[in-house]
Structure 1
């Protein structure tokens, strides 16, 4: 308590209690963040269906972490989710559209339609896989930073 100069004894006790309460809140939010990272990782085994749970959980608790290093983890996971949905969705649409039109071109024996749209499908598939790898990387990187009690960039 000597690190709190120029405060009355009551003010020092209040300050100490506030610090203790903040540490308890931080510990709860750390555990909460571990749960959201774990659910995100579990989502890889459910074709991403479970990913909606951690995003809802992150929005629900993000404001409680404002002005702490934990806020970066909530924000990191939210951005990872939405960028993944956007770019992964583009890749998925290109892949499905490209391969569907390519299949139609093959059926009607149109080589130009078959080749060009097949390339679109391949590009979309590569984009989708790249987004999955990027999403996995960000999840692991964030979880490691949380485990080390550090903010993510």
Structure 2
């Protein structure tokens, strides 16, 4: 049997940016949790006061709104079948951005460039 770790920082840290990221990821199954994550990101952004969490909230809020706009464009383009592929790309884009933010949140590091469109 392995002994429990004496390191208090070991394990999964359920900080606020992590909660928002998990809500975004669960929205692929549940749906409404992405909106809950957005609301929490707006609320908690005011409390962050420039710490490492502030970049995460900016990153998550931008991810949500860019995904919504891209989803609308894909819905329009789905009339000519191009949008169906676009929905897949937007989903992958959201998952990658959210997982990268989740990993940074677990290390309590800021997102390097929260206003970027890529990662």
Interval containing the TM-score (normalised by the shorter chain): 0.7 to 0.9
Of the two structures, which has the highest relative contact order with CA contacts closer than 8 Å and spacing of 6 or more? 2
Residue of 131, 138, 142 corresponding to 2:101: 142
Task: Please state which structure has a larger fraction of its residues in helix.
Answer: 1
Distance (whole Å) between structure 2 residues aligned to residue 66 and residue 79 of structure 1: 18
Name the SS for the 1:70 alignment partner: helix
Distance (whole Å) between structure 1 residues aligned to residue 84 and residue 49 of structure 2: 38
Consecutive unaligned residues in structure 2, runs of 5 or more: 1-13, 114-119
The offset of 1:64, in angstroms, is 1.2
Find the counterpart in structure 2 of residue 130 from structure 1. Answer: 89
Name the SS for the 1:151 alignment partner: coil
Task: Show CA shifts across 1:23-80 (max 9, x none).
Answer: xxxxxxx62222111111111112x322100000011110211321110000100000
Consecutive unaligned residues in structure 1, runs of 5 or more: 1-29, 99-119
Runs of 4 or more above 6 Å deviation? none
Query: TM-score, normalization: structure 2?
Result: 0.77
Name the SS for the 1:45 alignment partner: coil
CA contact (8 A) 1:88 1:132 kept: no
Larger radius of gyration: 1
